[in-house]
Amino acid sequence: MDLTHAQAALKKYFGYESFRPLQSDIIQTVYNKHDALVLMPTGGGKSICFQIPAVTLDGVAVVVSPLIALMKDQVEGLNANGIHAAFINSSLTGEQIRDVENDLLAGYVKLLYVSPEKLVSQGFQPLLKRLNISLFAIDEAHCISAWGHDFRPEYTQLKFLKEQYPGIPVIALTATADKLTRKDIVTQLGLDDPAIFIASFDRPNISLHVRSGQRRFEQIVDFLKQHSRQSGIIYCLSRKSCESLADKLNTKGFRAAYYHAEVPPAMRSKVQEDFINDRIPIICATIAFGMGIDKSNVRFVIHYNLPRNLEGYYQEIGRSGRDGLPADAMLFFSYADVTSYREMFEQGEASAEQKELKIAKLNRMYQYAEAPVCRRKTVLNYFGENYDHNCGNCDVCQNPPRQFDGTVSVQKALSAIIRTEEKVGMNLLIDILRGSQRREIFENNFQQIKTYGAGKEYTFEDWLFLISQMLHTGLIEIAYDDHSRLKVTEEGKKILYEGKKVNLALPQPKAKPEERTPRAQEKSKTQVMREELFERLQMLRRTVAQQQGVPPYLIFSDATLVEMAEKRPLTDADMLQVSGVGERKLQLYGDAFIEAIRKFVLEKTGEGSRVTGSTQLVTWDLYKKGHLVEEIAEMRGVSTLTVISHLATMYERGENLDIRQWVSPEECDIIQGALPLFEEPYQMKAIHEHFNERYNYDKIRFAIADMRRGR
């Protein structure tokens, strides 16, 4: 087997033009019957790496996957592309399992998805022995590692695959990159000198934003207004906040549902289904949500609270933009979150060592949110990738901080802390600096201290920003054991008493959201038209999905619809050029989508817009309605030859038309026989003269069309 087969299968089944970096190398490795370990971020295209070998090689590929929902999704997706795939797990009845077994033994199935517990069970072994297995794929392979976050004990028994089926290649895939897990996967699966592929974990289409948690609800409402009709997830720390946030959003007129571990299972799966099927766009959820969801058009992920570590954060935001289109990740953070995590960790069962690790990771998370450094650079470096430039697609890059001499501001804050005898927390400190009328201030006589109202030049948020930098650079610390009061460190005292200078990142004036997004800019006419068509195609997709009882993205991904709206394919051949349209999908949905695009184009032409390819369509439409060539010429104010030429073009593009009414097969043959004497683009006049004017222009035009259609 070689890569030309792989390439052809990619086009035929998935409608994609070319492999992404690494995919073809990985596929070649499997063809060579060599084991492989694949590390790629979510949405990186791992599945193709075993699905293409599976469809091109003899026999069946056995895919281990830990999540039942994901299995079903993948199998449905493959079936929709005309690939015979099946799954066996605890959700099937005995009868359903027997059906799958029969298909397997008959050799129909190209990919079999199984849960790890099924695969390792004694009862499954006889069947496995009888199959002609092309490869084993271990998806979510990090589940094998007790170090990881999704440890699944059954995974540790998978070593038997290599022991009992030594000649069959095993490909292990994961989106979790750390070294420890990686080593665990190789040893525990007993992989034989595996080729290791590590793709970049960068997800350049996800725009990374961090905002202060002040007034986050209003900020979210603003954001959602600008992203209407888009799907997204809002992660909250507590179950209660999931519910209350969803409620509040609903009263604001958004359609939101909530999801957390205490929601009854039936309702949970309904929420998930509604989200997948684009019925409910916004889900407020704890991190329990999203694990088994393969939805490719999640357009945003918002963290209402700080995630507990960067691994979790990156995995969660990775659920957006899997189709490669622009997506937004927005993180809100506040000290309150850090404090509640700390409390949670302290109270937890874990050993002192593990607690320490958790806190260290939390601190890294916090630093990420805080540091005025390119977010992507920070996070990719954390994952050990050497990313040394600024990404241009994060809030820091778009609004780079300027440094200023912050000594005086810092001194004001430090002095206020000292003068209140280190008994205030962050919020109260800021209120003192800003001269607030808050009750606690007067109860404690803080209005009398010298620095009361000395910091009015900054907003509350600006002060938060400055004070967090002070914290971050070790000028102050938070006494978690003393009501989170602020204390001045030795380093801080040097600034207060010894006049040591300090540079800080300047708080950014809060730009109005509209100013930053290109959406608010004047849209060009083509852009408007593109969006309108995209929306129509989306609607059509929903209708088709409902009729077939599958999620919309299984019909076509958003990326595919975007491309359709841009290229406006009017024929099967054009449609096949769209990425994501393979043969099967063309067959199933091509007509409906082409029809919708044609209708759109015709309407737009009627409204006076110029749309490429549309004039032929208008002629074609009239012809289909029963008008004669002469009538059409009259109606459209063009010559009959132009009408003929339009019809010929439509015929070239594959439309059905009986051209014998203009040119007989014999005449066609004769004219076509002479065409090699001429060069494209053909000069009709020259051909006409070549035959001493024996054949009129109509005949010549259709003979040419017939030749073009045939090639």
User: C-alpha dihedral over 225, 540, 553, 3, to 10 degrees?
Assistant: -130
Segment lying near ligand ADP (by CB under 6 A), choices 43-51, 226-234, 341-349, 503-511: 43-51
Strand partners, 39: 174, 198
Name the minimum Å distance from CB 473 to ligand ADP: 38
Segment lying near ligand ADP (by CB under 6 A), choices 15-23, 123-131, 491-499, 619-627: 15-23
299 lies in the site for ligand ADP, by CB under 6 A: no
Name the minimum Å distance from CB 243 to Zn ion: 34
Binding to Zn ion (CB under 5 A): which residues in 369-388?
A: 374, 376
Comparing CB distances to ligand ADP, the nearer of 47 and 241 is 47
Q: Which of 6, 9, 13, 19 binds ligand ADP (CB under 6 A)?
A: 19
Q: Which of 42, 89, 212, 334 binds ligand ADP (CB under 6 A)?
A: 42
Contacting residues for 648 by C-beta, under 8 A, at least 6 apart: 659, 701, 702, 704, 705
Size of the site for ligand ADP (CB under 6 A): 17
Comparing CB distances to ligand ADP, the nearer of 48 and 64 is 48
Q: Which of 203, 299, 319, 322 binds ligand ADP (CB under 6 A)?
A: 322
Rg of the chain over all Cα atoms, to the nearest angstrom:
32
Report the 10 Å Cβ neighbour count for 156. 17
Kindly state the tokens that stand for 417: 């802390």
Residue 374 interacting partner from ligand ADP, Zn ion, none (CB closer than 5 to 8 Å by kind): Zn ion
How wide is the angle at C-alpha 63 spanned by C-alphas 200 and 275, nearest 5°? 70
Binding to ligand ADP (CB under 6 A): which residues in 503-562?
A: 557
Which of 211, 131, 198, 669 is CA-nearest to residue 461?
211
Name the minimum Å distance from CB 507 to Zn ion: 19
45 lies in the site for ligand ADP, by CB under 6 A: yes
Task: Please give the Cα distance from 320 to 297 (Å, whole number).
Answer: 7
Q: Which of 9, 26, 31, 44 binds ligand ADP (CB under 6 A)?
A: 44
Outline where DSSP puts E strands in 32-104: 36-39, 60-64, 85-88
Comparing CB distances to ligand ADP, the nearer of 322 and 342 is 322
Q: In the sheet where 195-198 sits, what is the strand order?
A: 85-88, 111-114, 60-64, 133-138, 170-174, 36-39, 195-198
Comparing CB distances to ligand ADP, the nearer of 16 and 600 is 16
User: C-alpha dihedral over 21, 296, 74, 111, to 10 degrees?
Assistant: -20
Which of 6, 12, 5 is CA-nearest to residue 585?
12
Kindly state the tokens that stand for 675: 């065409």
> CA-CA distances (angstroms) from residue 1 to 33, 194, 305, 521?
11, 20, 50, 51
370, 505 in Cβ contact below 8 A?
no
Name the minimum Å distance from CB 125 to ligand ADP: 28
Q: Which of 36, 397, 417, 687 binds Zn ion (CB under 5 A)?
A: 397
Kindly state the tokens that stand for 214: 């002040």
Residue 230 interacting partner from Zn ion, ligand ADP, none (CB closer than 5 to 8 Å by kind): none
Q: Which of 35, 140, 278, 323 binds ligand ADP (CB under 6 A)?
A: 323
Name the minimum Å distance from CB 114 to ligand ADP: 17
Size of the site for Zn ion (CB under 5 A): 6
Catalog residues that contact Zn ion under the rule CB under 5 A. 374, 376, 390-391, 394, 397
Catalog residues that contact ligand ADP under the rule CB under 6 A. 16, 19-20, 23, 40, 42-48, 296, 322-323, 557, 579
